[in-house]
């Protein structure tokens, strides 16, 4: 039985001067996700946990900005009920609490950094006393030399598959055995277990590469003075000979980790384990990322998983209550957490990755607005994709019953573009539209409404031009597009006329059916996108759209006029 990690707090560790800033600890769940740009400190959180659980030393560069100040890494654990009595008996410093703080403190002496002292509930304790109760930690860095991973050492994933067998053999050995006898028994036990593992590894790798013919793991003569170094080799169908996996590419090496974790899942290894995984998506195609995500989710049912990621696949499958965005301000790691729940995202038609992985969000009324704005934006800004802006329709949402301010807790760059829906120059915004506008503005979210020559218009289609519509759809309009007319109806009727000319069986009375013309004949997404592309082609992008988009990017801090 092991302690269950539920939180972390840092002081003067790497980029974390005081983390979290509010003085409380960062909550760790069964599946915790850390998101953020490169070099914001995601890896520092994982490494700090590793330092405490594995009793690692720190170096000068591990201290915040190289200052000679005390560094503290505090981990908070839930004590399982079945473990309380044993802790009380074995650890005199334990006071019987359900949640305990285990802290490792590094202090300076004569200009040198100490190796660290452990405390439990502010009482000094040895690592040896704590070790058997701390989680088994598996740490997979983003940049990994698989040769190190395949060495038989206690800090590697592969070793975790072998160590239980070795330790069992060690327990069963007789005191009368000579070292030579023990080595022979130990090597035999390793070879037997290796054969089982080799078969499983071959099976999983074969699913991923057709070229894999066989897998071997050579166990060298055991030497007490050296660590055991089993070497994994892949026999390629095309080459016909065994090649050490260390000589294969980084992608192959990552698939090895994926295959090993699949075996973990099959063996139900997880209870008492803590998996720290940097960017699990690296080198994996989409399908493999989904498989990896599923494996990690299964692993978290018994153990704990903490990942850092840039992948929407992992973010969207994460537990939003323990998904965190890390940013850097003045060289220090800061935390942003989404204060709402998944319901508000679902109501807005958003996914967690929309708020965590984008530089800004533009909320619009419908899917057609999304497509039309994208066409114009990609033409106005050559590097539009690099701005990483999510344009999301909220037309069918139940936003009036939600608090949009929660979006700003993670992503401060959120704006809304609404259709004014005015039908004449003297018209004003409807009460529903005014309420929606006020709701967003009260939440601190800027609201834009489509205009033409400074006046409100009906909707985005009223910014289309007669010339672009005619050329895009091969129809003829009687008049130019005005600010307030029903453009979908106007275009739909002309499309009915065109259909009647080419299809004698088509019911020409359909032209009198406004809903049919507006919604069936005129497809707001397909036709709207086509017209927008034509406007770009003939260099007729509406100035009002340019103004709105420039203003939004400037507001987001992504563009300077």
DSSP code string of 473-541: HT---SSPPPSSS-HHHHHHHHHHHHHHHH-TTS-GGGGG-HHIIIIIIS-TTHHHHHHHHHHHHTT--
Helix (H) or strand (E) holding 90: helix 81-90
Q: Which residue has the tokens 């800033």?
A: 21
CA nearest 215: which of 237, 184, 190, 187? Answer: 237
Tell me the HSE value of 146 on the side-chain side, using a 13 A CA sphere. Answer: 19
Q: What local confidence, expressed as pLDDT, does residue 474 receive?
A: 96
Helix (H) or strand (E) holding 291: helix 286-302
The pLDDT tens digits of the residues spanning 105-142 come to 999 999 899 999 999 989 999 999 999 999 989 888 88
3-state secondary structure 187-242: HHHHHHHHHHHHHHHHHHHHHHCCCEEEEEEECCCCCCCCCECCEEEEEECCCCCE
Q: What local confidence, expressed as pLDDT, does residue 69 receive?
A: 93
Helix 179-208 × helix 250-266 angle, to 10°: 110
| Residues forming CATH 3.40.50.300 domain(s) in the chain | 1-135+272-337
- 145-267 domain in CATH 3.40.50? yes
CB 186 within 8 A of CB 192: no
Distance, in Å, from the CA atom of 529 to the CA atom of 551, rounded to the nearest integer, reads: 23
CA 494 to chain centre: 47
Query: 131 CB contacts (<8 Å, ≥6 apart)?
Result: 55
Q: What are phi and psi of 169, to 5 degrees?
A: -60, -40
- Number of alpha helices (DSSP H) and beta strands (DSSP E) in the chain: 19, 24
CB 35 within 8 A of CB 310: yes
Query: 455 CB contacts (<8 Å, ≥6 apart)?
Result: 425, 483
For residue 329, give the 3-state DSSP assignment.
Answer: strand
CB 306 within 8 A of CB 46: yes
The pLDDT tens digits of the residues spanning 417-457 come to 999 999 998 888 888 889 989 999 999 999 999 999 889 99
Low pLDDT (below 70) residues in the chain: 143-180, 182-183, 220-230, 246, 396-402, 561
3-state secondary structure 462-476: HHCCHHHHHHHHCCC
Q: What local confidence, expressed as pLDDT, does residue 53 receive?
A: 96
3-state secondary structure 435-454: HHHHHHHHCCCEEEECEECC
Distance, in Å, from the CA atom of 159 to the CA atom of 166, rounded to the nearest integer, reads: 10
Distance, in Å, from the CA atom of 248 to the CA atom of 172, rounded to the nearest integer, reads: 38
> What is the end-to-end Cα distance of the chain in Å, rounded?
61
Phi-psi region of 471 (alpha: psi -120 to 50; beta: other; left: phi over 0): alpha
Q: What local confidence, expressed as pLDDT, does residue 507 receive?
A: 93
For residue 150, give the 3-state DSSP assignment.
Answer: coil
Query: 81 CB contacts (<8 Å, ≥6 apart)?
Result: none
Query: 342 CB contacts (<8 Å, ≥6 apart)?
Result: 320, 352
For residue 414, give the 3-state DSSP assignment.
Answer: strand
CATH architecture of 1-135+272-337: 3-Layer(aba) Sandwich (3.40)
Phi-psi region of 551 (alpha: psi -120 to 50; beta: other; left: phi over 0): alpha
What is the bridge-based pairing of β-strands 273-278 and 136-140?
Answer: parallel
- CA distances (Å), origin 177, targets 183, 210, 368: 10, 46, 79
Distance, in Å, from the CA atom of 451 to the CA atom of 463, rounded to the nearest integer, reads: 8
- pTM across the whole model: 0.79
């Amino acid at each position: 039985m092991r302690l269950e990690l539920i939180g972390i707090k840092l002081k003067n560790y790497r980029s974390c001067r005081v983390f979290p800033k509010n003085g409380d600890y960062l909550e760790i769940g069964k599946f915790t996700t850390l998101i953020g740009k490169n070099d914001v400190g995601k890896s520092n959180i994982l490494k700090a946990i590793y330092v405490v659980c594995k009793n690692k030393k720190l170096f000068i560069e591990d201290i915040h900005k190289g200052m000679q100040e005390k560094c503290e890494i505090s981990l908070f654990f839930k004590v399982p009920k079945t473990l309380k009595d044993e802790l009380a008996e074995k650890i005199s410093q334990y006071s019987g609490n359900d949640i305990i703080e285990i802290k490792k403190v590094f202090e300076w002496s004569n200009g040198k950094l100490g190796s660290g002292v452990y405390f439990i509930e502010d009482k000094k304790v040895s690592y040896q006393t704590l070790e058997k109760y701390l989680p088994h930690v598996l740490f997979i860095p983003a940049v990994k030399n698989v040769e190190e991973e395949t060495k038989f050492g206690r800090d590697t994933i592969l070793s975790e598959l072998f160590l239980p067998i070795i330790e069992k053999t060690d327990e069963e050995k007789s005191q009368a055995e000579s070292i030579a006898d023990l080595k022979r028994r130990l090597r035999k036990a390793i070879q037997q277990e290796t054969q089982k593992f080799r078969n499983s590894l071959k099976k999983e790798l074969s699913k991923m590469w057709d070229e894999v013919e066989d897998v071997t793991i050579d166990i060298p003569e055991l030497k007490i003075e050296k660590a055991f170094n089993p070497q994994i080799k892949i026999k390629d169908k095309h080459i016909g000979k065994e090649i050490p996996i260390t000589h294969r590419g980084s992608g192959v090496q990552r698939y090895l980790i994926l295959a090993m974790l699949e075996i973990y899942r099959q063996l139900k290894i997880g209870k008492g384990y803590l998996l720290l995984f940097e960017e699990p998506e690296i080198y994996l195609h989409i399908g493999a990322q989904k498989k990896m995500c599923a494996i990690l989710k299964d692993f978290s049912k018994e153990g704990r998983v903490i990942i850092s990621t840039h992948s929407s696949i992992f973010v969207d499958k994460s537990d939003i209550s323990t998904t965190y965005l890390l940013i850097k301000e003045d060289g220090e790691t800061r935390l942003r957490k989404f204060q709402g729940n998944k319901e508000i995202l679902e109501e807005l038609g958003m996914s967690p990755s929309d708020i965590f992985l984008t530089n800004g969000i533009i909320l619009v009324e419908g899917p057609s607005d999304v497509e039309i704005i994208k066409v114009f934006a990609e033409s106005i800004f050559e590097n539009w994709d690099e701005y990483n802006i999510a344009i999301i329709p909220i037309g069918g949402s139940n936003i009036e019953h939600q608090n949009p301010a929660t979006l700003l807790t993670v992503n401060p760059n959120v704006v809304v573009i609404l259709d004014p829906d005015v039908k004449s120059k003297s018209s004003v915004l409807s009460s529903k539209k005014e309420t929606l506008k006020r709701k967003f503005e009260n939440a601190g979210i800027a609201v834009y409404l489509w205009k033409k020559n400074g006046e409100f218009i009906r909707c985005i289609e009223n910014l289309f031009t007669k010339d672009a519509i005619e050329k895009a759809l091969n129809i003829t309009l009687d008049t130019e597009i005005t600010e307030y007319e029903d453009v979908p109806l106007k275009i739909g009727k002309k499309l009915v006329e065109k259909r009647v000319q080419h299809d004698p069986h088509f019911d020409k009375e359909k032209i009198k059916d406004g809903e049919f013309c507006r919604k069936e004949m005129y497809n707001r997404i397909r036709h709207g996108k086509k017209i927008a592309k034509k406007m770009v082609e003939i260099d007729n992008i509406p100035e009002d759209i340019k103004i709105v988009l420039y203003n939004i990017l400037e507001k987001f801090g992504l563009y300077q006029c």
